[in-house]
Amino acid sequence: GQNIDQPTEMTATEGAIVQINCTYQTSGFNGLFWYQQHAGEAPTFLSYNVLDGLEEKGRFSSFLSRSKGYSYLLLKELQMKDSASYLCAVRSLGASGTYKYIFGTGTRLKVLA
Amino acid sequence: EPEVTQTPSHQVTQMGQEVILRCVPISNHLYFYWYRQILGQKVEFLVSFYNNEISEKSEIFDDQFSVERPDGSNFTLKIRSTKLEDSAMYFCASSEAWQVQETQYFGPGTRLLVL
């Protein structure tokens, strides 16, 4: 089957670094996405990995290991506005040759002053 | 910056009624998606749409759901006979292409409440 696991909640201090882990099991893997979602709002795209390694984008970095079914999102220099849910989503090739997207339950990050 | 728009922002309906949720994807995007998110739960993929037909659909997308692109700009999700468990936030998303580094842009969502 297809499954994505990520921690439910994390807390960190303003200015610190936090790593949010995601493990997945899927067939036909074709990319892993991280989204940020503030309460009551739509998800917004943060990063995308399809090959192993680290992708850096300003304060945000995302890492992927396909052999381990593992990814993490690294947030540096945390700001209060980073308090949000962070969603890990896996894209896989569906039966008709097009893509399906499976989302994790999200990790609710609280940034404390 | 171009964005995906959705109407209405909120919809309240009686169980058994039909609802149509509307989306205007970003104008040069070719791939369209519907997701739902029940309150406090994860985002769930419903369906993807390309070239005027469904590309992929999930187990949730049963016969009571349908999608349509009635004109060059709108993309709609119809729920034929709503059930209490259809209450959720429904997000539309679009992307320019689905290969390689495709980015999906989500609309603000329609909050559907079925009574």
Q: In the numeric block, which tokens belong to residue B27?
A: 């104008």
User: How many other CB atoms are found less than 10 A from the CB of residue B100?
Assistant: 9
Mean local confidence (pLDDT), B32-44 = 94
Residue B64: name the closest of B114, B12, B7 by CA. B114
Q: Do B42 and A104 touch (CB under 8 A)?
A: yes
Per-residue confidence (pLDDT) for residue B73, from 0 to 100: 87
**CA-angle at A46, arms to A45 and A48, nearest 5°:** 95
Q: Is B103 on the interface with A (CB under 8 A)?
A: yes
With a CB cutoff of 8 Å and minimum separation 6, the contacts of B50 are A98, B30, B31, B32, B98
Q: Is B91 on the interface with A (CB under 8 A)?
A: yes
> How many pairs of residues across A and B have Cβ atoms under 8 Å apart?
57
B90/B68 Cα distance (integer angstroms):
15
- Of A21-30, B43-52, B85-94, B100-109, the range with the lowest mean pLDDT is B100-109
Of B43, B45, B58, the CB nearest to A43: B43
Q: Do B109 and A42 touch (CB under 8 A)?
A: yes
- Compare all CA atoms of chain B with the CA of A33 and give the residue at the minimum distance: B103
Q: What is the pLDDT confidence band of residue A42, given thresholds at 50, 70 and 90?
A: very high
Task: Let me know: does A80 contact A14? Beta carbons within 8 Å.
Answer: yes
Mean local confidence (pLDDT), B10-39 = 95
Q: Which residues of chain B neighbour A106 with C-beta distances below 8 Å?
A: 42-43
Of B41, B44, B106, the CB nearest to A43: B106
Q: What is the mean pLDDT of chain A?
A: 93
